[in-house]
Every structure is written in structure tokens, then in C-alpha cells.
Amino acid sequence: MKGKLARFVLATTLMWSLSVGCAHAEVNMSCSDGGLLDDPELTASLDAEPAEQTLLKEASVGMTSNLTPPNATPDMASIDDSVCSLNRYGYQTRSVTNYRQEKSYYCGPATARQALGFHKAASHSVAALPCQWTLASKIGTERYRASSTAAIANALNSYKGTFGSNFTYIASDIANTRSPFETFVNRIGTQLRSISQNPTTPIVLCQTRRISRYNGVASRHYMTVSGIDDRVAPMRMRSVDPHYLSSYYGVRWENVGSTSTNGLCRAVYQADLDGTNKVMAW
């Protein structure tokens, strides 16, 4: 009896330990960062190229140049914190399939696959979409157990020709612009409205604690943006969230907010302020 009792106590203890361990794993995984804080491949000289590419792309879609001069800080007084309707882009949506990320740090590869899914459909390509592991290998996600935005943009561009040729993704910041709010909205709006001028399905890196539905959970997380509605106040954008937890996964309309009011804009702005990793692949 003593032997049976001892085995019962041991088995019960192990089951309790496993359940507690799983609970802790779930909590830790829900807070895991899929987006790098700092881009280890980015140097001062390498940073000049995406800045130039950003200006060229903004000009091509009719945006006014608004990057601050080198080594200057943004003029915080000029930041537009408006949460009113702009009524500049109206209601724009794109059909983007939601793919659940296959690992806790695979939000980068998952959003890349979501974007490529749009281009595959738009180009009527018969080529198979790359799996998340293949995209993770291209992006370097497995190496760092997180993704960089520049690597996501480069990976997407490597599929030009396979899924159409009328797109180019650029990795950009918003905190180094004269008006981060306006820059964020205009980049998203021009891409979702565009049909022939280099259209993309933008990917954004967010600090999730700035998005109300995450209830304070903090992580650096990539999502795809598939819609905008600036006819309403507060303005909204439609996110395609690849999160592996059902409570966050899905397609939702989010408040845009501002650089100081919680919403998608503040989430991206905060992610930008926190590290050197770019926050938009657009």
C-alpha cells in the first residue's frame, strides 16, 4: 500500500507540475516577441538605402517628402495626434487570407505569406505559396528567433515574377518623419487604394500593449493591414493578425488612434521608438 501511495503521490505531483509548466508556457508564449527589437544587420551606412527608397516610393504615390534631416530628431510639436476622420481614402479593402503562425515567433513569416497570398490571387499565378518555414529561412527568423522588417521586405521582393511583378516592398520607420501619424495613414491608404501604382499589402510591426484588445499584453508582433476606413471617427484599419492564440488571431477592424492615443498607429509608433528594427514593410 505504501508503494502504491508513494507512486500515486509522485504521479499527482508530476501532473500538477506539468499543468503549471504548461500554464506558464502559455503565458510566456503569449508575450513572445516575433519582431526583433534591433536589426542586427542594420548599420548607419546600410540605413541610408531604405531611407532613399522610402522617399522614392512616397514620391511615386504622391506623398510629400517628410523625413527629417540626418541626425535630427522629429519635431514633436508637428505630430498630428488627430483621431478625426480624414475622408481622404474612404473605404478600401483587400482580400487577404489569414494564416495562423506556426511557431510563437513566426508572425513575420506568417504575415509575409499573407501578403504573398494576395499577390498570388491578384496575378492569377498557379505557383504554390511558400510555406512558413521556407519564408522563415529567407527572412532569418530561425537564426534570431524573431524577424526583421527589412528581411521581410527583401523576402517578399524575391517572389516578384512568381506572384506578379507590379509590387516592391520597402522597409521604413515612421518616428523619424515630421508627422508620424500622417505618414502612417498615408502609406497605408495609398497602398490599399492603389491598383496600378506599385500596390502592396502593408505589414506593420506593433507593440501590442498599445492595442486595446491585447489587454496590456506586451509583445513585438507583425500583422498585415488589409483595409482602411477614414470616413468615420475614430478612423479604422483592418488588421489580419496571424497570432497562434485564438484570442488574438483573426481579421478585425482596429481603431487607428494616434501617436498618443491607443490604436494601430500608436502600436507601430511605440515599436519604432523602442528599437532600430523598421516598423513598416509597405
DSSP string, 124-192: T--SPPPPHHHHHHHHTHHHHTSB-HHHHHHHHHTTTTTS-SS----EE-STTBS-HHHHHHHHHHHHH
Q: What is the pLDDT of residue 272?
A: 98
CB 213 within 8 A of CB 26: no
Q: What is the pLDDT of residue 46?
A: 66
Q: What's the mean pLDDT when you consider all of the chain?
A: 84
Task: Specify the range with the lowest mean pLDDT, choosing from 37-51, 87-101, 178-192.
Answer: 37-51
Read off the pLDDT band of 50 (50, 70, 90): confident
The set of cell numbers assigned to 272 is: 519604432
Read off the pLDDT band of 32 (50, 70, 90): confident
Query: In this predicted model, what pLDDT tens digit does every residue of 7-25 receive, in sequence order?
Result: 433 343 333 333 333 222 3
Q: What is the mean pLDDT of residues 187-199?
A: 80
Q: What is the pLDDT of residue 195?
A: 64
Question: In b/e form, how buried is each residue of 45-67, taking b as 16+ CB within 10 angstroms?
Answer: eebeebeebbbebbeebebeebb
Sign of CA dihedral 253, 257, 259, 263: negative
Nearest of 81, 60, 65 to residue 269 by alpha carbon: 81
Phi (first) and psi of residue 41, to 5 degrees: -90, -5
Read off the pLDDT band of 198 (50, 70, 90): low
**Predicted confidence (pLDDT) at residue 103 exceeds the cutoff of 90:** yes
Q: How large a percentage of the chain has pLDDT more than 70?
A: 79
**Predicted confidence (pLDDT) at residue 71 exceeds the cutoff of 50:** no
Residue 91 DSSP SS3: strand
**Predicted confidence (pLDDT) at residue 279 exceeds the cutoff of 90:** yes
d(CA 154, CA 222): 16
More confident residue, 64 or 209: 209
Q: What is the mean pLDDT of residues 168-178?
A: 94
Q: What is the mean pLDDT of residues 190-199?
A: 76
Task: Tell how far CA 130 is from the center of its chain.
Answer: 19
Task: Specify the range with the lowest mean pLDDT, choosing from 25-39, 40-54, 108-122.
Answer: 25-39
**Predicted confidence (pLDDT) at residue 55 exceeds the cutoff of 70:** yes
Nearest of 279, 208, 256 to residue 50 by alpha carbon: 279
Q: How large a percentage of the chain has pLDDT more than 90?
A: 67
Q: What is the pLDDT of residue 85?
A: 64
